[in-house]
Chain A
Amino acid sequence: MINIDKKKVAVISLVAVVLMFLLFIFAVIRFNNLDKIPDNPQYFTDQAETWIEDDPDSEEGVMINIHRATNAKSIFLDHKQEYYFGGRRLTFFMHGYYQGNEFSEIYVDPDAFDNLPTGISSGEELAFLEEHALMRNTPNFVPDDGIPEGFIMAREETSDEQPVLVFYIFVDEDWKDYMSYTNIMWGEDLFDKSKMQVREFDFSNGQSGIYVDKINDADWFLEGKRGGIFVGEISLESLDITSQKDLNASFIYLQ
């Protein structure tokens, strides 16, 4: 016959019950607390306005947070945006024209070179020339510095449960003031007018002095066609101009 020490059993049982109780309490507290922890913070948002952030490197500047807008799938480097799109690398090149003069990121007043102070360092020289910028094609804006600034950004979205490519166009307050008109021209073949479309830029959306518009039907990029998206003083008639000296318009474009 087995001798059972009832006292020991009682103690062990009590300890077990206490431990289970404590465990239960901890679990309740823990899971109750888990509910309080925001589990889905929605950092990567779909609203264009939420991508416009203060520029930490500029007191008055704002910036388009491409990282945030593209779900950390895109980079902007050397005036081109690269996109990791469904396992493929897509690359979009940015350029611009200021009154018929071509530039990549910044167009500087040519007269500034004549007034360049002597005896300054290359950094100071750079800053001096930056001050004399006349137009910028960049995700970093200063909306009211008198310099028209614009930017075109590719983004992956979903349509009918299929990934599609769309483009957001940002221009600042100075752009609106400076340009005689602002059109968006886009299409898959710059050498065939019938494949290009034009409409006016919609200035009704935006914030912090930045206006946003969007082009949805631009999937030709996925087929490897160069085409392009143009924003600014541009129209189908512009395509009839064959010489740069006859072009006096200002616009930015992406190919």
Chain B
Amino acid sequence: MGTNEVAVKVILILVVIAVAAGVAFKFKDIAEPVLEIVNTMLYDDVLDRYGEWQLKDKEAINSMSALLYSVNRLAWLDTYSSSGWVDSSAEKYICTRKQLNQYEKDESRYPYPCPEGYVCNIPALALPNMPIYCDKVVDEDVEGELKEERQLSGLEIGSFESFGRSYGDTKVIPTIVDTMIIYYKTELVTDDIQAREDEISKKIALNMLYCFQQFKDKGRNNVRCSAGDFSGVDKKIEIDSEDIKNGFKLLEEDPLLCDQYCQDMLKDLTGGDWYNFFNGKNWEMDIEGEIITHETAGSKMIRICGDDGTSKTVDKESGAGSWQDFTNGVQDFFFLDRIFVTDDVGRCVSPVDQMLFTLHIEGFNLPQAVDVPGHPSATDLALLSNPYAAPSVLMSDPELALQVPQNLLYSVMPHGDPKYITYYEKFPEGEDSSWAMNEYMTAVFKIDTDFFLAALNGLPVVGPPMSFYLGSTAEGRQVVANTLARIEQAAKNSKGVFDIDFISIIGDSMADLLGFVKSHEGDMFAGINIHSGPVQNYLVVKYAGLSFFDKDYRKFVQDAAEEFSINEKNQKTLLSFGKAKDGFSDVYVKIIEQYFDENKEIIIGNRLSPDIMVEMEEILGELAEDSRFTEALAEKLDEEIFENLGDILFLFRGVSQANDKLLSWQDTASQDIVLTELRDMLEANDAYIDEAEKDHETYKEFEDNLEIALPMMLEEQEKNTELLSNFSSSGKDLDLLDKMAKDISQKLDDAQKKIFSGGRNLVDTDASLEREKLSRQVLIRMIRDASINEKFYFIGTNSIGLRTPYRGTVVYDDKWTRDWDWASQSDTERKDTYLEYFEHFGGYTDEEASDALANKYFSEKYFGLLPEVNRYYLSIQRDKLWRWFDQPNLRFHLVSPCKADIQIRVTNCECYGTSAKGYDDTTITSMFTDLARPSMYETGTKNPDIPELYVANFDGTNKMLYSIDSDGTVIKECPPKKTISLPWTEASYSPTCIEINPIIDDSVFPNYCYRGQKPPLLAGADVFLNWALPTGCGSMPIFGLMGGPLCGVFGKMLYYPMEQYFYSWPLHGGDFAKGET
């Protein structure tokens, strides 16, 4: 064994031991393995996250790039486009539409890009809504010209084409919102194709004539008149320019449609008679392929518009030229009055386009493979969804009854959250109920079944009618049998929740490690107890999805060692560290702590402090004085923490949550015992199961998995408690409850001994294999919980995050901007990297970057999206199909599987609420989220709780509410209207928004993206099964006192599978297409 290798292994051992001991010092118990992982998360190279994601899932990263580019580009255009969008009739020119207020008048914060020779004239007192002018730089003695010389700021906007981008198969297409859509349909009933073409051509000609009128009425300024949707046109029809010419002729010959005035206009439009030849033809067809067919609809809309001809002055290749050119051109009286039938959105650009401009992302995709079982036909579903028809369908069609609950099963996710979740600033609370509920449903489904069957068999007063309904008839038995068959599937699926493969992987890895250690027994590894908790749990965490931390642990140490030129003396010193491991661990912990100040904020760019050096010297002797070693170590740590910042924060929070969980563990354990008791009751008294051995076996199989499912069940303690309280409040069988209480008490004791023998030490070296197994389950569960909760943490103002389970949320600029000292480093080699970032996410060209970016973006530090985006709130437009049940806009978020085209545009949002104190728990998911809201404060005022904090109106004009977390991170808030409020009882506000509107690809199944609208028919089923049925049963004497609860359970059993099918991840809102704007 070479010297270097020995040294490396020694260091390896030392670090492992040090971390284990160090963490014990800091977090105790299970913190050890978590921080151990932190300390091994090393990469071969300084890989950026973007690159890493790119390697892992190209579709997702391309889609995110397209999204970020679109948001950035829209914000940039909307902020600076006054130069291009300016209304030609307006007399006032402003250098930017960004508004200042009196708290933000530092010009350096807003380096407005005026043209060369001009400066932005910010008044001493800049008030909201005050326009800021670009003034010409003149000698002091040449005054009086300012007003005349005022100009627009000079950033060139570029042509429509220049805004397009491609990211793999995902494309960003610039377009506009169409205001007047004409639906062309072939209405003639004839086989004569020519006649039907004439019909459409004539209608096109008529709309062109209308457009000609508009164009002239606007003084020959550009105007967008109408957009044609030809999807209703016969597929055989193809319209070319000759057909349109013929349409004009047909229109002219139709006295009902075209009077003398119309005919005069037509002559003007078409070029008219021979003596009118000077006028020329005033229309043009400009369509790729030169024909219109039924396919020209949606994003391929054909538009009719008036264009004064000057738009051609813009170089389409380079995008050079300002949009203002479009509206300031000289009219050519004879030849340039053009009415276009075109698919070129760059035609007819006018100032109003500022309002209409939209970026369309084609092929956005956050993929996730979901194993979907076959699902019933639409007819079956319609029947099943009818509350009156559903019971009979279930009984008459057992196959259907089997299929529907399957939807409940495949929605159970192994990792707690879908594979990809992207969101703006923070994931909106409650929107995870589509999949979080699935666990609840699984538990409730099981618990309901327990109660249901227990009631049938253990409560004779209630049993007979229910048994008659379900137990004593063939149909009823079939329903129950089918239900139990689903439980079998649930049992199998429940393994997925904890991903048994992980356990086997862990086992394999442990065997490998054991073998390795055995081969080195007596060697340097002799001191490591392979049965120790940290090692095992390290593996658990590692293979629970955190393997990215284990890139190349050795290389880190090796690099550090090589950089300080290890020699024999140092080797001995290193070996001696093994004996001083405790001391070293203290130093190591302090090093880690140096990256966190008292507010737990990360301090990047830190180096080893003098205090630490003193301590290191005591332990390391001469080696610690070797600057090469300490520098190498510090730099490695720096890189390590920086590169994995999000994941480190995630794990630290996970540790904290896990400790909290442990503290309440014994209390929650009781619920499992309740379940066990119910199972025992069932087995002891269940005549039904005696008769249905197969179902019994199925049930047993599920029960056998209870231990695996234990942590999941425990989390449902509130729900279970609620059910139990319902049960006990009925006061039906006190003796039974007494018996249960005694048994539960005993079993609680047993369980605690089983789970926590020796206390809450999950890493007990003497743990039995069974307890080790359980410990691993618990640890996975805790990490999983931390992963689920992670999306509710604020990721920063103006940030878009993308996360997958078991990792910190990736915020898309944290690598390139967090530690960037723009003022001092702008000339360094990192500048290129930084510009590359902007080009990629902001969509800037090199030319733009060299001018605008160099001046602007190197002058201030920010997090998240481009600083211009901070003016806006990013919202998602959800289902609009049922206009009486429209979903309100929400904070932007998308969830895999998600295949959609996305429309993005600037608009205003409607938000409700006032500054108010609320709950502090950021992870709370209340049943009453409509009523319970977090603490929120109003922009433009001093924060009432933090007087030194002032948050200006984000868009400079409109007030908005915001929240602030314990770290001081501010996020914007735009709550929807409370359902119980009136317009004059709840204040509203309307901030500037970037609205992101996914149009879900309904050819993809399953496809989720966001929680869809609950179908109206399901609302009916909800009322009947969850409300009317239990109420009705409760009021009928024949059902006794338990009638209500039992019918409630029965209703839920029917309703939940339906809801699962229509409403829950990974399906979207009943599989109906979303309305497109």
Measured CB to CB, the residues of A under 8 A from B are 26, 29-30, 33-34, 36-44, 56-57, 66-67, 71-75, 77-80, 82-84, 86-87, 89, 91, 93, 95, 102-108, 113-114, 116, 118-122, 125-126, 129, 190-191, 224, 226, 228, 230, 238-239, 241-244, 247, 253, 255
Contacts and interface: CB of A to CB of B under 8 A. Distances in A.
Given A67-B180, A77-B1077, A121-B378, 7 more contacts: A26-B278, A43-B214, A72-B224, A122-B1072, A126-B881, A190-B983, A247-B982
A84 B210 contact: no
Nearest to A82: B355
B910 A106 contact: no
Nearest to B268: A37
Which one of B881, B882, B979 has the highest number of Cβ atoms from chain A below 10 Å of its Cβ? B882
A30 B1020 contact: no
Nearest to B221: A72
Closest 3 CB pairs of A and B: A91-B908, A190-B984, A43-B213
A250 B86 CA distance: 41
B882 A126 contact: yes
Given A41-B265, A118-B389, A121-B378, A244 B908 contact: no
A116 B386 CA distance: 9
A18 to B, nearest CB: 18
B216 interface: yes
Nearest to B353: A84
Nearest to B989: A226
A91 B1020 CA distance: 35
Nearest to A90: B908
Interface in B208-253: 210, 212-214, 216-218, 223-225
Contacts, number: 170
A42 B355 contact: no
Contacts of B94: 87
Contact of A41 (B217, B877, B957): B217
B213 A105 contact: no
Contacts of A103: 884
Given A72-B214, A113-B1017, A244-B981, A86 B90 contact: yes
B556 to A, nearest CB: 53
A161 to B, nearest CB: 12
Nearest to B982: A244
B382 A120 contact: yes
A38 B275 contact: no
B883 interface: yes
16 contacts: A26-B278, A37-B265, A37-B267, A38-B216, A43-B216, A66-B179, A72-B218, A79-B883, A84-B355, A113-B1020, A116-B1016, A118-B383, A226-B987, A230-B983, A243-B982, A255-B983
A226 B988 contact: yes
A75 B210 contact: no
Interface in B999-1031: 1016-1017, 1019-1020
Nearest to B910: A93
B907 interface: yes
Interface residues of B, number: 76
A249 B540 CA distance: 62
Contacts of B1017: 113, 116, 125
Contact of A89 (B354, B883, B988, B989): B354
Given A36-B264, A78-B880, A41 B275 contact: no
Given A75-B177, A104-B883, A244-B981, A89 B355 contact: yes
B907 A82 contact: yes
Contacts of B985: 242
A71 B218 contact: yes
Contact of A87 (B97, B268, B279, B979): B97
Contacts of B85: 87
B1019 A75 contact: no
Contact of A91 (B278, B279, B907, B981): B907
Nearest to A88: B97
B352 interface: yes
A223 B877 CA distance: 27
Nearest to A245: B980
B261 interface: yes
B656 interface: no
A59 to B, nearest CB: 12
B97 A106 contact: no
A75 B213 contact: no
Contacts of B279: 30, 34, 37
A57 B1017 CA distance: 28
Which one of A40, A57, A83, A224 has the highest number of Cβ atoms from chain B below 10 Å of its Cβ? A224
A44 B221 CA distance: 13
B344 interface: no
B183 interface: yes
A228 B355 contact: no
Contacts of B1020: 113-114, 116
B884 A104 contact: yes
A40 B351 contact: no
A38 B265 contact: yes
Interface in B883-908: 883-884, 886, 906-908
B632 interface: no
Interface in B175-213: 177, 179-180, 182-183, 210, 212-213
Nearest to A27: B278
B990 interface: yes
A242 B383 contact: no
Contacts of B883: 79, 104-106
Contacts of A247: 982
Contact of A44 (B218, B272, B882): B218
B884 A75 contact: no
B252 to A, nearest CB: 15
Given A44-B217, A89-B906, A242-B982, A72 B223 contact: yes
A89 B907 contact: yes
A108 B882 CA distance: 10
Contacts of B86: 87
Contacts of B379: 119
A118 B980 CA distance: 32
Nearest to B352: A84
A75 B265 contact: no
B958 interface: yes
B723 interface: no
Nearest to B885: A108
Interface string B54-98: 000000000000000000000000000010011100101010010
B925 interface: no
Contacts of A241: 982
A33 B217 contact: no
A30 B179 contact: no
B990 A93 contact: yes
Given A26-B275, A87-B86, A104 B217 contact: no
A33 B264 CA distance: 10
A255 B911 CA distance: 12
B1077 A78 contact: yes
B1072 A119 contact: no
B593 to A, nearest CB: 48
Nearest to B87: A87
Contacts of B470: none
A38 B183 contact: no
A84 B351 contact: yes
A64 to B, nearest CB: 12
Contacts of B881: 122, 126
Given A77-B1077, A89-B355, A105-B884, A253 B264 contact: no
Contacts of A41: 212-213, 216-217, 265
A191 B985 CA distance: 8
Contacts of B990: 91, 93, 226, 255
A126 B1073 CA distance: 12
A230 B881 CA distance: 26
Contacts of B725: none
A71 B214 CA distance: 9
Nearest to A65: B180
Contacts of B97: 87
Given A30-B275, A129-B882, A224-B957, A118 B989 contact: no
